[in-house]
Structure 1
Amino acid sequence: MPATTVGRLPAQRPLDYPAIPPHHVGNPPTSFINPWPSYSHASLGQLAKAKWFTPKNFYPVPKDRVGLPKVRKPDFGSERNGLKATWIGHASFLIETSTSGAGKERGVTILLDPVWSDRVGPFGIVGPVRFSPPPCEIEELPEVDVVCISHDHYDHLDSETLRKLTARRSGKLRFFCGLGVKAVLTGLGMGIKDEQVTEMDWWDGVRVEVEDVGSVELVCTPAQHRSGRVPWGFQGTLWCSWVVKEVSAESEAEGKKLFFAGDTGYCHVPTDDLPSHHSAPHPPCPAFSEVGSLYGPFDLALLPIGCFQPRSTLSGVHSSPEDSIAIHKNIRSKKSIGMHYGTFRGGLSQHFEPVTEPAARWRSAAAKEGLEWDKEVGLCDIGETVVV
């Protein structure tokens, strides 16, 4: 197994960034906040009202799967070179960097928010149930070098999946996460050791070198979301997005770049009849324009488009398709693929959002903005590999 080394990079931050990061609560931080006017906190009372007292309809998953993503056996782009992203479902992707140098059989492989379980929730007995299967078994994956976690919610940090991945690599896997998430990774009995995990704050970067394979730079960037796996631990760990930058030892030219949004909102929409940020009184989240200025343009972006309704309670933390079109522009993405739909749905979404709606609205929103489908904005099958 190739050895992996990690080195910290000088942090690049927006101009006039304060000495104490504005998303920290306490110094050192004991919890975290979304520090922008674009965010508004939905209380437990508001969530309960939406779930139990607001008029709603239950939207079943179509048995014929018409309008849902197709599921195909992945080939992981084995016959193509380039920056590759294979959709596993929901927010899970396998990334492989371009093959660089003579004799290199593969690039650095990175799993983003890997989830293979049929149910995501405490002890695997409560929580959302998968309605689109994974395209392959964990054992069928190529060799994985790195796992990046956007936050600790169950549908993005799945202990059973990480336990299997860790066992498969015999403790050689490296994990990257936001502040506070290391304790989750090492404390759930998954076999992950402290030295395997690197915690990062927003705007921190690392260079990861995989012996005889290649190098990649990872930057922990902001997202507008929340965290916590238990009610008494909400916002105790940091949520984030990720920048993945290829590094070539043979060339000084900059390699290709990918942006993974993780789970994020864009702008709080106060009422359910306002579909997106366009008609909302709140300003949009400025973090994505900052990411675009510091690290864009991106060759590929993976952006959330589902589990966004009802807007009055979820818009602060989950982007609508229209919101993610705005993110696409803010980060200066050349091509963006929709994700975070078609696999799981939450207890609220099932009463407000047909599972076929995100994909249709993503295409419609792209057309309204004059974006070329499949070139600038698109979708892929579960198991399909997008190569740029």
Structure 2
Amino acid sequence: MATTFSVIPLSPRRPESYVLPPSHHVGNPPTSFKNPWPSYTSSGLAGLVKTRLNTPKNFVPVPSDRLGLVEVCKPDFGQGKNGLKATWIGHASFLIETTAQKGKERGFRILLDPVFSDRVGPYGMVGPVRFTPPPCEVEDLPEIDAVCISHDHYDHLDIPTLRKLLAKQNSNVKFFCGLRVKDVLVGLGVGIKPDQVTELDWWDPIHLESSKIGSVDLVCTPAQHRSGRTLWGLNGTLWCSWIVKEPGEGGKSLFFAGDTGYCGVTSDDQPSHHQAPHPPCPAFSEIGQIYGPFDLALLPIGCYQPRSALSGQHSSPDDSIAIHKDVKSKKSIGMHYGSIRGGFSANYEPVIEPPRRFKTAAEGEGLRWGEEVGLCDIGETVVV
């Protein structure tokens, strides 16, 4: 029988920059959303076409021998280990389990952006194809309590995966998402009911409480990205990052960046924020000031080329090292690479580049590789 738990809103902690109505809302109440910072740049559809026509392609096939690609191992989900656990499913998908509290059977299990499909896109017929398999099937997962969705793009919100998850759970699972994503989830046709979904705005915290598995706090926090599953619904739903915070003074905390940019650059000769004419996104330092330090952060490092087109919404490995420092993470793991090629970036970004560049960027900032910053295999569980 699935675990039942209460969902209790908490008083939000917000940065000094917060205003009413919120600066990321378009309309009151909001009908769409925007990135409210100078750090965000968007080339728009015309800019993407111009980039595709004018930027020399650097298409490198996925290595047929898989040399240099991330390894895949059968997950044990950290069984027998106690602590805050994060098991990488691939791309931006993780299974989080909080530390088991005294007298409780286990911790809370939270799926982040679960995607198990071979292809991500409309109707499963178009869109990028997975080149590294997930480490297991949905049916192999342990009992899941909650699902957090960072935004509604197909490589983060996958219909077949959610259909299988609901079948496995007998529909007993709760969903947490940004504003206006509830209508997307309920409208997928997989059986998600409105009362299973809790929508949150940036900086909104909630408390989950269960007599069986204890408690945990979730906080919806900002990200610099976009949303939309159709060309006529762009930015109509809110994108976000997430914080998972265990209770008590010694409770562990995790930051999941979702899909985010850090600082827009205007030229592919400016590979990172260090050369950018724009300031970095201030949201991450605000997250670090209010909720840091974090014991573990999950940060995107792939699908970022070409920078002139994608830097506003996708972090480079160098950018994610800056995010690691801004949020005050004690340990950060790279994600959003090694599984699915971006439909646009596939023509410009070799799939073996992100992890190499992440390591170079970390060491360039004096960070201890494998201790403060690192990578893990798909299926591996990181415990802090």
TM-score (normalised: structure 2): 0.98
Q: Report Cα offsets for 1:150-199 as digits up to 9, x if no partner.
A: 00000000011011111221222000000010000000101100000000
Give the aligned CA root-mean-square deviation in angstroms: 0.9
**Which 10-residue stretch deviates more, 378-387 or 47-56?**
47-56
Structure-to-structure mapping, 1:241-252, within 5 angstroms: 241-247=241-247, 252=248
What residue identity is the alignment partner of 2:381? T
> Is 1:268 the equivalent of 2:269?
no
8 A contact 2:10–2:205 mirrored in 1: yes
> Is 1:282 the equivalent of 2:278?
yes
What residue identity is the alignment partner of 1:83? L
- 3-state SS in 2 of match to 1:85: strand
Distance 2:224 2:47 in 1: 19
8 A contact 2:105–2:212 mirrored in 1: no
What residue identity is the alignment partner of 2:364? K
Q: Report Cα offsets for 1:189-236 as digits up to 9, x if no partner.
A: 011000000000000010012331121100000000000000000000
- 3-state SS in 1 of match to 2:232: helix
Residue 223 of structure 1 corresponds to which residue in structure 2?
223
**Which 10-residue stretch deviates more, 159-168 or 324-333?**
159-168
What residue identity is the alignment partner of 1:175? F
Distance 1:4 1:168 in 2: 19
**Which 10-residue stretch deviates more, 171-180 or 50-59?**
50-59
What residue identity is the alignment partner of 2:267? T
Residue 165 of structure 2 corresponds to which residue in structure 1?
165
Distance 2:316 2:187 in 1: 34
Q: Report Cα offsets for 1:225-262 as digits up to 9, x if no partner.
A: 00000000000000000000012xxxx42410000000
Distance 1:101 1:111 in 2: 23
Distance 2:76 2:325 in 1: 30
Distance 2:112 2:269 in 1: 33
Distance 1:81 1:334 in 2: 18
Name the CA shift for 1:187/1:78 in 2 (closer, same or farther; >3 Å).
same
- 3-state SS in 2 of match to 1:233: coil
Structure-to-structure mapping, 1:323-334, within 5 angstroms: 323-334=319-330
What residue identity is the alignment partner of 1:217? D
Residue 67 of structure 1 corresponds to which residue in structure 2?
68
> Is 1:312 the equivalent of 2:346?
no
What residue identity is the alignment partner of 2:275? S
Residue 288 of structure 2 corresponds to which residue in structure 1?
292
Residue 149 of structure 1 corresponds to which residue in structure 2?
149
TM-score (normalised: structure 1): 0.97
- 3-state SS in 2 of match to 1:28: coil
Residue 54 of structure 1 corresponds to which residue in structure 2?
55
Tell me how far 1:55 sits from its aligned partner.
Answer: 2.1
Distance 2:328 2:107 in 1: 25
Name the CA shift for 1:26/1:52 in 2 (closer, same or farther; >3 Å).
same
Residue 342 of structure 1 corresponds to which residue in structure 2?
338
What residue identity is the alignment partner of 1:240? C
Residue 27 of structure 2 corresponds to which residue in structure 1?
26
Q: Report Cα offsets for 1:42-65 as digits up to 9, x if no partner.
A: 210111222344321321000111
- 3-state SS in 2 of match to 1:367: helix
Distance 2:59 2:174 in 1: 41
8 A contact 2:270–2:276 mirrored in 1: yes
Query: Number of paired residues?
Result: 383
Distance 2:105 2:64 in 1: 41
Tell me how far 1:296 sits from its aligned partner.
Answer: 0.2
- 3-state SS in 2 of match to 1:44: helix
- 3-state SS in 2 of match to 1:232: coil
Tell me how far 1:110 sits from its aligned partner.
Answer: 0.3
Distance 1:53 1:29 in 2: 37
Residue 186 of structure 2 corresponds to which residue in structure 1?
186
> Is 1:203 the equivalent of 2:199?
no
Distance 2:310 2:190 in 1: 31
Residue 358 of structure 1 corresponds to which residue in structure 2?
354
Tell me how far 1:12 sits from its aligned partner.
Answer: 0.8
8 A contact 1:296–1:333 mirrored in 2: yes
- 3-state SS in 1 of match to 2:242: strand
- 3-state SS in 2 of match to 1:231: coil
- 3-state SS in 1 of match to 2:284: helix
What residue identity is the alignment partner of 2:85? K
What residue identity is the alignment partner of 1:120? V
8 A contact 1:171–1:196 mirrored in 2: no
Distance 2:368 2:74 in 1: 27
Distance 2:39 2:73 in 1: 38
8 A contact 1:94–1:111 mirrored in 2: yes
Residue 370 of structure 1 corresponds to which residue in structure 2?
366
> Is 1:15 the equivalent of 2:16?
yes
